[in-house]
Amino acid sequence: MIKLSHIEKTYDSPSGPVKALKGIDLEIARGEIYGIIGLSGAGKSTLVRCINMLERPTSGQVFVDGKELTKMSASELREARKDIGMIFQHFNLLSSATVYENIAFPLKLAGAAADEIEKKVQPLLKLVGLEAKAHQYPSQLSGGQKQRVGIARALASEPKVLLCDEATSALDPQTTKAILELIRDINRKLQLTVVVITHEMQVVKDICDKVAVIDKGVIAEQGSVIDIFTNPQQPITKEFISVLLSNDLPAAFRGSIVSQEPAPDAYLLVRLTFIGERADDPVIAGMIRNFPEVETTMLFGNLDQIRSTPFGRMIIGLTGPHERVQEALAYLQAKDLKEEVIGYVHRHDSTAH
Ligand SMILES: Nc1ncnc2c1ncn2[C@@H]1O[C@H](COP(=O)(O)OP(=O)(O)OP(=O)(O)O)[C@@H](O)[C@H]1O
């Protein structure tokens, strides 16, 4: 649905050229919700603005729905942009217009008649849950309601693509959840392709099917959200994920020295990640049964979900004869899960006294 081919964007600034995008290749399939995550200044806004040509790339090609936007004339582009709706962090509503008028605005601009506008705006008001607010002004609305107006307005021209530029960054966590749910609902109902620009991994986790991590104008890593979450490759990706997944040691071990060498009475700490149906597998029970000489302590565990895929994380501690502990570890390694050896650590909490 969207194809970016070697996009570069260089801005001229008083202090010299700024290379905001340095060769971006990206493909987004129809109906997908695609996240683009990056730190401030990474180039996210530039990238999303290149998709609808609000910003013209310095070089490279942009295709939306098979049409190359980068070679269109201004009038062709105006037409093509009807396929691309956009919502913004600060909503960008007309303060002197009512909710109804804001939603109707793009239709009015396109020269639609009042009865045609009415026919389109009413269902949109219903879709975003603002029927009762049609005649209020933006100043009378909450942030979440303002973004609902932004979404309805973006959908008025029946686009195939919705671009969301930090659309929930100005909202509290609860309102963010509700708006993300609405976007996903719309994605399903209208088969809309959605691009979500964000600096928050939680947003990616809650709504996106795929994600690209952008860093200093290049794509550092991209893939399905579940793969990126469970097997991040780049340090920047790991950093984004670490905000959501605590990599702290369990309290009883925090502050202790982690060694890769076995030591008497030390626990071998192992972090396990279970994905999908494997999340229910009785792997630990099997290990305990097979290695009765190894004492297994469950130190941390949580079960989460990414889209509809269960995703479990656990830290266990193994103690016992060195050989047996190594065999137990090998047993885990042979199983279909991700394991990461943290190292040998001594407990320092009260239970050790
Ligand atoms: N109009 C402009 N003129 C000059 N430089 C610009 C312009 N717009 C953006 N830049 C620069 O391009 C780089 C990428 O900016 P961009 O706004 O795309 O990043 P971003 O990831 O969206 O960041 P943020 O989340 O802070 O908005 C930055 O170094 C920025 O300073």
Statement: residue 308 has pLDDT above 80: no
Statement: residue 351 has pLDDT above 60: no
User: What mean pLDDT, rounded, does the chain reach?
Assistant: 92
pLDDT for the residue 304: 83
pLDDT for the residue 245: 76
Which among 166, 230, 150, 232 is positioned nearest to 203, based on CA atoms? 166
Nearest atom in ligand 1 to the alpha carbon of residue 47 is: 18
Which among 117, 116, 133 is positioned nearest to 125, based on CA atoms? 133
* Domain ranges for the chain: 2-242, 251-352
Q: How far is CA 225 from the centre of its chain?
A: 7
Please compute the mean of the pLDDT values over residues 316-320 and round it to a whole number.
93
Please compute the mean of the pLDDT values over residues 202-219 and round it to a whole number.
95
Statement: residue 248 has pLDDT above 80: no
Instruction: Specify whether domain 2-242 bears CATH 3.30.460.20.
Output: no
Statement: residue 50 has pLDDT above 60: yes
Please compute the mean of the pLDDT values over residues 39-52 and round it to a whole number.
95
pLDDT tens by residue, 115-139: 999 999 999 999 999 999 999 999 9
pLDDT for the residue 353: 40
Q: What is the DSSP letter of 350?
A: G
Rounded Cα–Cα distance for residues 301 and 303 (Å): 7
CA distances from 349 to 251, 267, 302, 353 (A): 8, 13, 22, 8
Please compute the mean of the pLDDT values over residues 226-233 and round it to a whole number.
88
Rg, C-alpha atoms of the chain: 25
User: Rounded to the nearest whole angstrom, what is the distance from the C-alpha of residue 19 to the centroid of ligand 1?
Assistant: 9
Q: What is the DSSP letter of 42?
A: S
Q: Whose CA is nearest to atom 17 of ligand 1?
A: 45
pLDDT for the residue 255: 81
- pTM of structure: 0.85
Rounded Cα–Cα distance for residues 324 and 4 (Å): 53
**What phi and psi values does residue 234 have, to the nearest 5 degrees?**
-95, 145
Token look-up 């009415």 returns: 118
pLDDT for the residue 303: 83
**H helix or E strand, kind and range, residue 161:** strand 161-165
What DSSP string describes 124-157?
A: HHHHTT-GGGTT--GGGS-HHHHHHHHHHHHHTT
pLDDT for the residue 90: 92
User: Rounded to the nearest whole angstrom, what is the distance from the C-alpha of residue 116 to the centroid of ligand 1?
Assistant: 39
pLDDT tens by residue, 63-103: 999 999 999 999 999 999 999 999 999 999 999 999 999 99
- The residue that leads in pLDDT, 247 or 287, is 287
Which among 328, 251, 258, 339 is positioned nearest to 296, based on CA atoms? 328
Q: Over pLDDT 90: what percentage of the chain?
A: 75
Q: Whose CA is nearest to atom 1 of ligand 1?
A: 11
Q: Over pLDDT 70: what percentage of the chain?
A: 97
User: Rounded to the nearest whole angstrom, what is the distance from the C-alpha of residue 43 to the centroid of ligand 1?
Assistant: 6
pLDDT band at 229 (very low <50, low <70, confident <90, very high): confident
Q: In this prediction, does ipTM exceed 0.85?
A: yes
pLDDT for the residue 280: 60
pLDDT for the residue 352: 44
Pocket of ligand 1 (CB under 6 A): 11, 13, 18, 20, 38, 40-46, 199
- What's the half-sphere exposure (Cβ side, CA atoms, 13 Å) at 44? 26
pLDDT tens by residue, 22-44: 999 999 999 999 999 999 999 99
Region of 91 please: left (phi>0), alpha (psi -120 to 50) or beta: left
- The residue that leads in pLDDT, 178 or 251, is 178
Paired strand residues for 299: none
Query: For the chain, how many residues are written?
Result: 353
Architecture category of domain 251-352 in CATH: 2-Layer Sandwich (3.30)
Strands 309-319 and 295-306: antiparallel
- Cβ neighbours of residue 16 closer than 8 Å, sequence gap 6 or more: none
pLDDT for the residue 279: 59
Nearest atom in ligand 1 to the alpha carbon of residue 197 is: 22
Average the pLDDT over each of 57-66, 240-249, 250-259 and give the range with the smallest value. 240-249
